[in-house]
Amino acid sequence: MPRDFPGLYWDEQRQRYFPLASQPVDTTKYSRSEAVTPISNQKQVPQDAPSAQSNVMRGRQRIAPHRALADLRSLDRTARKDTLIHQIHSSQFALTDQVTRSAIPSLLYKGLVTAFQTVCHDGRVWSFAGDSMGWFYSSIIDNDNEAIGWHTSHGWEPEFNLSSEAPLSQVSSICVSGSRCIATSFGPECRILHLPLDSVVEDIRVSRTDTRIVHDVWTADFQASRLVLGANKQAVVIDDISDRAAVHYLPTNSDVFALAQDDSILYTGLRNGGILRFDTRITRSKGHVLLDGLFAQHSNSITNLKLLRDSQLLVGNVDGSISTFDLRFPACRTPLMAFHGNINSYTIKVPLVTDQSENILFAAGQDRKIRLWSLRTGGAPLVSAGADLTHQTAFQHQFEHPVRAMQIIEDSEGMYLWAASGSELYKYSLGHRNGIGI
């Protein structure tokens, strides 16, 4: 049974894999190359001409969800069924318009949300948010409260201010792992909030870093008990956050904007465009340069890093480009897949998330819009073949403020995208539109 591999397609007639770029148009009726049409090949259509753009979309080589569903029933091959199911879900996600909104009341009515996380633990939904004034907020509700559910209404409470006296420092990251929540602040004096969800076992505490060594914490990554801080020209590894006994400083010679952990292996994305890989088991580990310094040549800062499917690295850059690379070939400069159409030129805080099955990619752009792509096909942002251009979907909406945090949540009811913009949270029920869902 042929499997799906990134950047490759299966030729049934010749019984082997070939590069996706070399696939003929008529190789298979429902090939993955039909899923996306490059932006450069699309005709520019004025926004005031919906009928013209509808014709363009009908001309795109995509099958409508209902047609794919009909073919799905007639197929008995698992690989083809999986491809069609992915296409149906992708098309429905692109049409999402069901959204609920809630506001986080800033104490000074000036704070904008800069970080957000929510998790279900011990029968309750714990939600945390941080703002640009340094305030950390929390909301705790019962998971079985049907009137509230996944907190369409919040009882937000300000808990701590992580900002130094002057200037005010924003909350730069919020991470949750197991039964612990960690929040960090940006600025000359970094503070770290350690909030255990099981408060009976551990105490809540706020600690400070040595300002002579660590400052300007841009990001953080928390897995199991290990916390890694992306700071000024170094990554700071705290092996056990509960006692902070072992702290390692990994020099990078450039500010760390992005982090990704895989057990003891740490990946750092830098301001200067470099990507370094460290082995945290080695006390004085020297970073190994990845991708042969591909982005460092033009100082194309790394804003996002995410590990995918055991051997892939998803990379986001400050110029808006998004691509995946094969970590089995760490010096290779050619991406497995590129995702076009994201907008950015200078913003560092641009969230990028994937669903748990790692099939769909969501990214917030500098133009205050969220876009989504298929992680199987890459190319241009997903646009459903049956899109109604007279009705604005979630991924056509332009927010009033930049989107600073996103999170994907999946439960028995479906999949949800959380987005923080300004002082508000938006919860999108993915695949649902006017009472219709997948």
In a domain, residue 33? The reply is: no
In a domain, residue 381? The reply is: no
What is the domain-level CATH number for residue 202? 2.130.10.10
Query: Taking 70 as the threshold, does the pLDDT of residue 311 lie above it?
Result: yes
The CA distance from 67 to 71, in Å, is 6
Query: Taking 90 as the threshold, does the pLDDT of residue 246 lie above it?
Result: no
Confidence band (pLDDT; 50, 70, 90) for 50? very low
Pairing state between β 352-354 and 16-19: unpaired
Question: Do residues 228 and 235 make contact, with C-beta atoms less than 8 angstroms apart?
Answer: yes
Confidence band (pLDDT; 50, 70, 90) for 392? confident
Number of CB atoms found within 10 A of residue 296's CB: 18
In a domain, residue 43? The reply is: no
Q: What is the pLDDT of residue 57?
A: 36
The domain tally of the chain equals 1
User: Is the whole model's pTM more than 0.75, yes or no?
Assistant: yes
In a domain, residue 114? The reply is: yes
Q: Pick the more confident residue, 409 or 155.
A: 409
Query: Taking 60 as the threshold, does the pLDDT of residue 366 lie above it?
Result: yes
Q: What is the pLDDT of residue 74?
A: 60
Q: What is the pLDDT of residue 268?
A: 98
Picking from 209, 202, 204, 184, the residue whose alpha carbon sits closest to that of residue 194 is 204
Beta bridge partners of 403: 421
In a domain, residue 433? The reply is: no
Q: Pick the more confident residue, 78 or 387.
A: 78
Query: Taking 80 as the threshold, does the pLDDT of residue 199 lie above it?
Result: no
For residue range 167-195, what is the model confidence (pLDDT) as tens digits?
678 999 999 999 999 999 998 889 999 99
In a domain, residue 219? The reply is: yes
Cα dihedral 105→107→109→111 (10° resolution): -90
In a domain, residue 244? The reply is: yes
Q: Pick the more confident residue, 66 or 422.
A: 422
Q: Pick the more confident residue, 321 or 152.
A: 321
Q: Is 143 helix (H, G, I), strand (E, B) or coil?
A: coil
For residue 329, the enclosing domain spans 110-350
Q: What is the pLDDT of residue 322?
A: 98
Angle between helix 78-94 and 65-74 (nearest 10):
160
Q: What is the pLDDT of residue 167?
A: 66
Chain position carrying tokens 């209404």:
153
Number of CB atoms found within 10 A of residue 120's CB: 12
Question: Which residues, other chains included, contact 145 with Cβ-Cβ below 8 Å and sequence gap of 6+?
Answer: none
Q: Pick the more confident residue, 107 or 126.
A: 126
For the chain, give the longest Cα–Cα distance: 69
In a domain, residue 342? The reply is: yes
The CA distance from 302 to 318, in Å, is 6
Q: What is the pLDDT of residue 353?
A: 98
For residue range 14-36, what is the model confidence (pLDDT) as tens digits?
777 777 766 765 434 333 333 33
Q: What is the pLDDT of residue 412?
A: 81
CA distances from 8 to 5, 275, 311, 421 (A): 6, 26, 15, 37
The CA distance from 173 to 129, in Å, is 9
User: What DSSP line would sit under 60-106, residue for residue?
Assistant: SS---HHHHHHHHHH---HHHHHHHHHHHHHHHHHT---EEEEE---
